[in-house]
Structure 1
Amino acid sequence: MEEPINRSQGGESDMECSDNECYEEYYYDLNDDSDIEQVDPSKKDPEHFEYKCLLEEQVERLLNETVERLSNMLDITPSLAKVLLHSHSWNNNEIVTKYRENPTNLLVTSRIEPAVSSTITHNARYIHCPVCVTPQSLDKFYSLSCSHMFCKDCWTTHFEVQITQGISTTISCMARDCVVLAPEDFVLKHLTRPNMREKYQQFTFQDYVKSHPELRFCPGPNCSIVIHSKEMKAKRATCSQCKSIFCFRCGMNYHAPTDCLVIKKWLTKCADDSETANYISAHTKDCPKCHICIEKNGGCNHMQCYNCKHDFCWMCLGDWKSHGSEYYECSRYRENPNIAHESVHAQNVLFQAREALKKYLHYYERWENHSKSLKLEEQTLEKLRSRINQKVMSGLGTWIDWQYLFSAAGLLAKCRYTLQYTYPFAYYMDPGPRKELFEYQQAQLEAEIENLSWKIERAETTDRGDLENQMDIAEKRRTTLLKDFLDV
C-alpha cells in the first residue's frame, strides 16, 4: 500500500502569517500603523513579502496533494510521481509537457526506467543472489524496472546502509553502473524495523522540501517550521515560532539590498581576509585635534573627545560641524586615479594589490563598524530601559509615555542593519552613474542614521517631536534606497 508523506503526529494548528503579521526581532520592530490609511503594502514597502509559516503536517498535506494530482494525470503510482516531482523541482506542468512529448525519455532521464531495456528470465526454481551468493527460491527475489534481481535480505541491508548514511531519495539499484532509483513504496516494503522506516521518511521529507522552490526550512535551531511562498525572491521571512529572520531564497541572514550571490562572495572574502582586516583596523583612534587615544563605546559615529571636546566623525575623522555637506565623501570610496596609469604603463603588481586591499578595507571597516554599532546600541537600549523603569517607578510617566523611545531604537536598528548590507553591495558595483547615485543615497541614509543614534543616546534631553521627525526622515531614506536598488 502506498504511504503518503507523513512523519508527524498531533493536532494541526494554523501558523500562517504574512510579512506584516509575524512578530519580528529587535532589528525589525516596527511602529503600529493601525491608525494609518492602509495602502497596497507591496507599493508602500519594497521589502513586502507574502508567505506562510507551516507546520510539518501542513507541508505534508501540500506535498501529497501535488503528488496525487500528478499521479491521476499520468495514471502512475504515487511513488513514481514523487520521483518525477523531486527530479523536476515539483513543477507539475513541466513534467506533463515532457511526458506528452516523449514519455520514455522522461522516465529514463528521471531514472525511473533504464536507458537500455532488459528482461531477464529465470527458469530455475532456485537462483543465486549476486550479492550474498546464496541460493534461494525465486519468490525471495525482487527487482526494480531494470530487472536486476536481488534477494529480499540484501535489498533490506542495502537500504538500511544507505539510510544510515543519510541517503533516501537517491538510493539506486545495487547492480553495477545501474542508476535506476528505488521508489518509496519499494524501499518501505523492504524496511522491517520501525526506526529505519521513520528515519527514511524523515530524510525523504527533508529532500522533498529542499527540492521544492516554494518551500524553505526555517534555519533557526531545532525549529520545525517550513516557510511557504509562491514568490521565489530574496525577501525577508520571519519564523512565527522561533522568530528567526532570514532570506527566503538562500536561507542566510537577510541581506537587502545585496543579492544572494554577492553576499556569499562577500562573506567568503571576509572570512579569508578577516585576520588582515582585523590587524589593520584598530579598535581605537586618536582625536584629530588633541591626538589623545579614544575608544568607541557607543553606536553613534558622531564622536566628542572627552579631553578637548572636539566633535568629529569616527569613520573619516573629519570635523563633524561641516560633516553634513561632506558626508558624501565619507561613505564613498574614492578610486585612485593613478591605478589605470600604473597598471597599463608600469604594470606595478604590488601597487595594484595594495590598492585592492585598501579598497576592501574601506568597505570592510564600515561593514564591521555598523555590525559593532548594532551590538552597542542594543546595550544602549538596555540602559535606557533601566532608566525608564526607574522613572516609571518614581511616578514620572507610564511605560506607554516612554514607548516612543523603544520605537526609535527599533527603527534605528532596522535602518543600521540595512546600511550595513549596503557596503558589500557598493564594493562589487561597477563604477558609473548608478554607483554614484547609490553612494549618494547611502551617504544620506548614513547621515540620518547617525543623527538618530545621537538623539537616542541623549533621549532624555531630546524633544520627542524632534526625535520622531528624525525617525521619519531616516526610514524614508532607507525605503527610497531599497526601492531604487533592491533586486526584486
Structure 2
Amino acid sequence: MSINDNDSDVEYSETEECGYDDYYNPCDDADSESMNQKKCDPEHFEFECLTVDQVDRLLNELVETLSSRLRLTPSLSKLLLHAHNWALDSVIKMYLEDSSQLLVQSKLKPDKIPVVKTLSKTLVCPICIIMLPKDVFCGIGCSHLFCKGCWNAYLETQVMHGVSTATECMGCSVMATEDFVLPLLATPQLKERYVRHAFSDYVRSHPELRFCPGPNCNIIIRAKENKGKRIVCSSCKTTFCFRCGSEYHAPTDCETIRHWLTKCADDSETANYISAHTKVCPKCQICIEKNGGCNHMQCYGCKHDFCWMCLGDWKTHGSEYYRCSRYEENPNVANESSHARAKEALKKYLHYFERWENHAKSLRLEEQTLQRIRERIQCKVMTGTDGTWIDWQCLLDAAALLARCRYTLQYTYPYAYYMDAGPRKELFEYQQAQLEAEIENLSWKVERAETTDRGDLGIQMDVCEKRRTTLLQDFLES
C-alpha cells in the first residue's frame, strides 16, 4: 500500500483503532460534523443507555405521580400503569372519567363483590379443605378467601415459574399487588426473585424501554420512538433493532425479517447443497475454494477473473452486475402446473438465499482478512520502516466500512425477495446491484492493501458509503 505521508506526530495505540466489530459503532470524534451527519444519516436514532437504578427511578417517578394525583397505593398504581403501557396522562384521564370501570377492565377489581356475612370464627379453606381460624384467611379484594398456607404455596410456585405482575387470585382473574404478595413469600430469596421478575415485566410493557440482548448485559435502552432502528449498547457494544430486539436488519423491516428467518430455518435442509465453499473455474475447471470476502475471484491456475456468484467473466461483469443480483422471474409461471410453480418458487428462494448466505460468509472471511492486515501493520510499525499506526488508519477504516456495507447488503436480499414486482423493485435492485459492485471493488482493494494507493482507497470508500446511504434513504422504514 502506498503510504508515505508522515504528517502527524501523534502516537496512535492499537487499542484506539476502529475494529471489525465496530462496523455499526465507528470511532467518533467529539464534535465532528455531528449535527449535519445526523440529518443525512438514515440510520440515525436518538436513544440513551440506562442502568437498572436509573430505570427504577424513572418508573418510580411515574408511580409516585399517579399515586399522589389519584390517591392510590403505589403498588396499585404500578399495576395500573403496567396494564396501560405506562401512559400516565391516559390513565389519569380514564380514572377521572370512571374509576370503577378502569379498575375492573385492568383486572384490579372484581366486577361484582358479593357480600359475605358469617358469625363463625372459623372457615374452611377451599384449597386444602381444612377448617382454620378466620384470622389466617386473606384475599386480594374479591370474595375469595384462602388460608395463608395455601397462598404461600401458590405464590411460591408462581414466582419460581417467573410469574409476578400476572399473578391472579386463585378463585378469579383479579391481579395481586406486590403489597399483597411480598408479605406472603416465605424467604428473602423469593421476595427478591419476585421483585426482579416484576421489574422485567414493567420494562417490557413500557414502549420506550428495551433490555439490551447482549450476554450478561444489564443495560436498558430508552428511546422516544418505537422504530426498527439501530441501537448500539454503550456497555457490551451489541448492535440490535430497537423495535424487535433481534439483530439489526436494515433495510428489511421487522416483520419481513421474521418471515425470512423462519423460512430459512424451515428450508435449511433444502438449501444445504449451496453451502459448499468450493466452485469450479468456468475456464479451466479447476476446483477453487473461497478464502476471502471478495466475490471477484481469480483462478490460481489460469488467472481467469470471474464472479463467485454467477461465474460470469469479471471483465464484462461491471455492466452486467444488475443481472447477477437480480432474480429474473418466469413471466409464464402462473400458467404452469403446480409442480412447475413450486419449482420456480424454490428457484427464486435459492437465488436470494445463496446471496444472503454468501455475504454472511464473506463477513466472517473479511474478519480474518482484517486480522491479517493488523498483523502486517503491527510488523511494519514495530520495525519503524513504514509509518506509524496513524498512517495506516485509513486501511483499518476501509475494512470497518467494508463490513458495514456488506452487512447492509446482506439484509437487502430478504427485502428484495418479498418485494412485489414493479418500478419500485426495479429501482431497489438497481441500487442493490450498484452497491454490490462497489463493495466488491473495495473488498478487492482491501485484500490487496500492499499495492493499493491510499487516495484510490479513500475514493472507493466514499463511493461505497454513498451507495449504501442512498439505498437506505430511499428504502429504509422511517
Contact between 1:29 and 1:411, CA under 8 Å: does it hold in 2?
Answer: no
Q: Does 1:69 find its partner at 2:65?
A: yes
Match of 1:243 in 2: 237
Contact between 1:214 and 1:232, CA under 8 Å: does it hold in 2?
Answer: yes
- Partner letter of residue 174 of structure 2? V
- 2:90, 2:354 → 1: CA distance? 47
Alpha-carbon offset, residue 428 of structure 1 = 0.5
- 2:296, 2:127 → 1: CA distance? 74
473-482 vs 106-115, which moves further:
106-115
Could you tell me which of 180, 184, 196 is aligned with 2:178? 184
Q: Does 1:84 find its partner at 2:45?
A: no
Q: 1:192 to 1:35 in 2, by over 3 A?
A: closer
Contact between 2:123 and 2:134, CA under 8 Å: does it hold in 1?
Answer: yes
Where in structure 2 are there 5+ consecutive unaligned residues?
1-17
Secondary structure of 2:306 counterpart: strand
Following superposition of structure 1 onto structure 2, how do residues 148-297 of structure 1 map, counting pairs within 5 Å? Answer: 148-175=144-171, 178-297=172-291
Secondary structure of 2:120 counterpart: coil
Could you tell me which of 422, 429, 449 is aligned with 1:432? 422
Match of 1:319 in 2: 313
Match of 1:46 in 2: 42
Secondary structure of 1:400 counterpart: helix
Following superposition of structure 1 onto structure 2, how do residues 116-127 of structure 1 map, counting pairs within 5 Å? Answer: 116-127=112-123
Aligned length: 460
Secondary structure of 1:276 counterpart: coil
Q: Deviations over 1:310-364 (max 9, x none)?
A: 111111111111111111111111111221232xxxxx11100110000000000
Secondary structure of 1:359 counterpart: helix
Of all paired residues, the percent bearing the same amino acid is 65
Q: Deviations over 1:405-464 (max 9, x none)?
A: 100000000000000000001000111111111101101110110000000001111000
202-211 vs 23-32, which moves further:
23-32
Q: Deviations over 1:195-236 (max 9, x none)?
A: 111011011011111111111111111111111111211111
- 1:204, 1:64 → 2: CA distance? 13
- 2:20, 2:231 → 1: CA distance? 10
Alpha-carbon offset, residue 137 of structure 1 = 2.4
Could you tell me which of 347, 354, 361 is aligned with 1:358? 347
Secondary structure of 1:275 counterpart: coil
- Partner letter of residue 152 of structure 2? T
Could you tell me which of 417, 438, 442 is aligned with 2:432? 442
230-239 vs 275-284, which moves further:
275-284
Alpha-carbon offset, residue 76 of structure 1 = 1.2
- 2:270, 2:128 → 1: CA distance? 58
Q: Identify the structure with bigger relative contact order (alpha carbons < 8 Å, sequence gap 6+).
A: 2
Q: Does 1:341 find its partner at 2:331?
A: no
Contact between 2:274 and 2:354, CA under 8 Å: does it hold in 1?
Answer: no
Alpha carbon RMSD of aligned pairs, Å?
A: 1.7
- Partner letter of residue 457 of structure 1? E
Q: 1:227 to 1:314 in 2, by over 3 A?
A: same
Secondary structure of 1:105 counterpart: helix
Q: Deviations over 1:276-312 (max 9, x none)?
A: 1112454321111222221111100011111111111
Secondary structure of 1:216 counterpart: strand
- 1:86, 1:484 → 2: CA distance? 37
413-422 vs 382-391, which moves further:
382-391
- Partner letter of residue 266 of structure 1? W
Q: 1:418 to 1:133 in 2, by over 3 A?
A: same
Alpha-carbon offset, residue 97 of structure 1 = 2.8
- 2:333, 2:339 → 1: CA distance? 11
- TM-score norm. by structure 2 comes to 0.93
Q: Deviations over 1:102-141 (max 9, x none)?
A: 3222111111111222221221122222222333322222
Match of 2:394 in 1: 404
Could you tell me which of 132, 135, 160 is aligned with 2:131? 135
Match of 2:51 in 1: 55
Contact between 1:25 and 1:245, CA under 8 Å: does it hold in 2?
Answer: no
Match of 1:476 in 2: 466
- 1:387, 1:43 → 2: CA distance? 38
- 1:34, 1:140 → 2: CA distance? 64
- 1:339, 1:43 → 2: CA distance? 44
Match of 2:324 in 1: 330
Secondary structure of 1:274 counterpart: coil
- 1:154, 1:422 → 2: CA distance? 56
- Partner letter of residue 96 of structure 1? I
- Partner letter of residue 369 of structure 1? N
Contact between 1:141 and 1:152, CA under 8 Å: does it hold in 2?
Answer: yes
- Partner letter of residue 432 of structure 1? G
Where in structure 1 are there 5+ consecutive unaligned residues?
1-21, 343-347
Secondary structure of 1:147 counterpart: coil
- Partner letter of residue 22 of structure 2? Y
Q: 1:335 to 1:432 in 2, by over 3 A?
A: same
Q: Deviations over 1:15-37 (max 9, x none)?
A: xxxxxxx9993332435556754
Q: 1:196 to 1:32 in 2, by over 3 A?
A: closer
Contact between 1:49 and 1:236, CA under 8 Å: does it hold in 2?
Answer: yes
- 1:468, 1:120 → 2: CA distance? 82
- 1:414, 1:198 → 2: CA distance? 42
223-232 vs 149-158, which moves further:
149-158
Q: 1:451 to 1:341 in 2, by over 3 A?
A: same
- Partner letter of residue 323 of structure 1? H
Secondary structure of 1:204 counterpart: helix
Alpha-carbon offset, residue 245 of structure 1 = 0.8
Q: Does 1:393 find its partner at 2:347?
A: no
- TM-score norm. by structure 1 comes to 0.91
Contact between 2:318 and 2:437, CA under 8 Å: does it hold in 1?
Answer: yes
- Partner letter of residue 313 of structure 1? C
Could you tell me which of 372, 378, 388 is aligned with 1:383? 372
205-214 vs 288-297, which moves further:
288-297
- 2:274, 2:471 → 1: CA distance? 31
- Partner letter of residue 465 of structure 1? G
